[in-house]
Chain A
């Protein structure tokens, strides 16, 4: 067996390699966002360059400002995430705890909706939406995003609810809490980590969603993922501005991730340590 220090050294190398691969596109995007178009297109690529901030100025306050699109993304993401959590928490609790008839088929149905390729849905959705007048509306896009995020959130949360010992809840029932207050006072505080993880993942998925937004959105509802394409045309790709827009678009998710970090780490490791027996 490898000595402890040697193993740590190998692990550090692997970790560094993974981090490099993972962070390279972000780093490259950041560098590109600080370059002039000339520097971006220079061949061979130049080493040192004079960083500029004009790309950021252009995408924030210029003619093609993405601020309205950021607002659009924010509305869709926040509302979708909020509705998802409000609906997914009781649904996941019921699936994890109640002895429901047909629990297994319901669970499988929820999972099955995740198996459909979104590209196969987009044309039918477009046709339905165009007939009922939901194209280019917030509630239309939120509705579609919900169909994607809810199954995911329910399945993620079920595992967290299942990790709470049943006896904890039974104790609350005997302590005269009733089912709803047992959930509110005893169970939910213990699945906070799981809810935080779910919020971050759902927000991230909705924020980054492109396919449905580009097909079902329009002039009014145009999230930032779609707006970034304004900088790409047949004649020219404004790499500096695309990169600046991408950097700005990353910020909200990054901030959310940092804010929820403590809970996420707890939430991700929760399943790993099962101290109490489960019935």
Chain B
């Protein structure tokens, strides 16, 4: 996308609030009362596995689905019963939904044509939007003559052309190949930053959500299980569900016992650097694969499998009765059955209670983690 074309940041971006949004399709409850508040200009991702309700939430915000309960507010105004066209939102669909019988220019100009913009003005704005996403030479072509990446840009141009106050993006990069996806991701972020428009982005790709979002909501089974910045959600997962979803590979979750500041995992004791209240109890210890080291000294483990990933290697370890995954960056070669010593930094261990909810250390300690 060309950075040379400067479009002034759009006039006002929207504050979105969802209050108790519930939706069912037949017998299946898709959303169980979603509450969400998105600040003006924020890049907000809805992240979760397939069928978790994130796309339904986006479609409710767009007005393409009506909620069974709950209200949608934009800047304090209830828009729940408004038609999609009245909401001043633009949407990019996963399939791009370009109109195949129109040229690229016709596609981009369509929203302007629908509100009776003068022909010359449409032409000017279409050219400007096309230049912005780097598809100006393609204006006379039809969508069928474009590559996937180009079609994606046409869909983006159609979304930005009418300066909406809200962008809704439904897995817009999922049909692109890996390299193009990373490149377009950066461009989408730059575009959003330049335009300053509130953006809601649906994805099942955690890497995408992490790299793009100001904040994100993790959806599981029609509920939001955590809302926060990427750093918060990754660094302090609210539950074992979130911990087990984020990260590649995700966090190792091991049964353990907690006695004050002493943690016992698989018969080994770790002294935690901060005390936890409560009595002797069963907990779940969460250790990120990247927080495990393999070295000269430490706890004994056996290598079961090593999967080189290029810059790092994912090592499957047998640690007592538990299976662990470690991500090692040292470039050392591991062989199956090799006995190794692993290091776990107690300060980087996450703790969850038996119900899977995060346990926080007593005051002052959480900032260390």
Interface residues of A (CB under 8 A from B): 165, 167-168, 170-178, 181, 185-186, 189-190, 276-277
B84 adjacent to chain A (CB < 8 Å): yes
**Bound Cα distance A190, B143 (Å):** 13
Given the complex, which residues of A lie within 8 Å of B62, measured CB to CB?
170, 174
CB atoms of A165 and B85 under 8 A apart: no
Could you say which of B90, B99, B111 contacts A168, with CB atoms under 8 Å apart?
A: B99
**A174-B114 in contact (CB<8A):** no
Query: Can you identify 14 A-B contacts, CB atoms within 8 angstroms?
Result: A167-B97, A170-B62, A170-B84, A170-B91, A173-B64, A173-B83, A173-B84, A173-B85, A174-B85, A176-B86, A181-B114, A185-B99, A185-B110, A277-B95
Of residues 83 through 109 on chain B, the ones whose CB sits less than 8 Å from some CB of chain A are: 83-87, 89-91, 93-95, 97, 99-101
Is the pair A176, B111 in contact by a Cβ cutoff of 8 Å?
Answer: yes
Say yes or no: is B297 at the interface (Cβ < 8 Å to chain A). Answer: no
Beta-carbon contact of A167 and B95 below 8 Å: yes
Residue of B with least CB distance to A277: B95
The answer on a CB contact under 8 Å between A176 and B99 is no
A165 to B95, CA, bound (A): 9
A-B contact count (CB 8 A): 61
Complex Cα distance A174/B94, Å? Answer: 15
Partner of A178, one of B83, B87, B90, B97: B83
Known: A170-B64, A181-B114. A176 touches B95 (CB 8 A): no
What is the predominant secondary structure among interface residues of chain A facing chain B? helix
CA separation between A174 and B159, bound complex, in Å?
10
Q: Across the interface, do B95 and A175 meet the contact criterion of CB distance under 8 Å?
A: no
- The chain A residue with its CB closest to the CB of B101 is A189
Whether A172 pairs with B90 at a CB distance below 8 angstroms is: no
Shortest CB–CB separation between residue B55 and chain A, in angstroms? 10
In the complex, whether B158 has a CB less than 8 A from a CB of chain A is yes
**Are B95 and A174 in contact (CB-based, < 8 A)?**
no
Residues of B within 8 A of A277 (CB): 95
A279 CB, nearest partner CB in chain B, Å: 10
A175–B85 CB distance below 8 A: yes
Task: Give the chain A neighbours of B101 by CB distance below 8 A.
Answer: 189-190
Q: Which residues of A are found within 8 Å of B84, using beta-carbon distances?
A: 170, 173-174
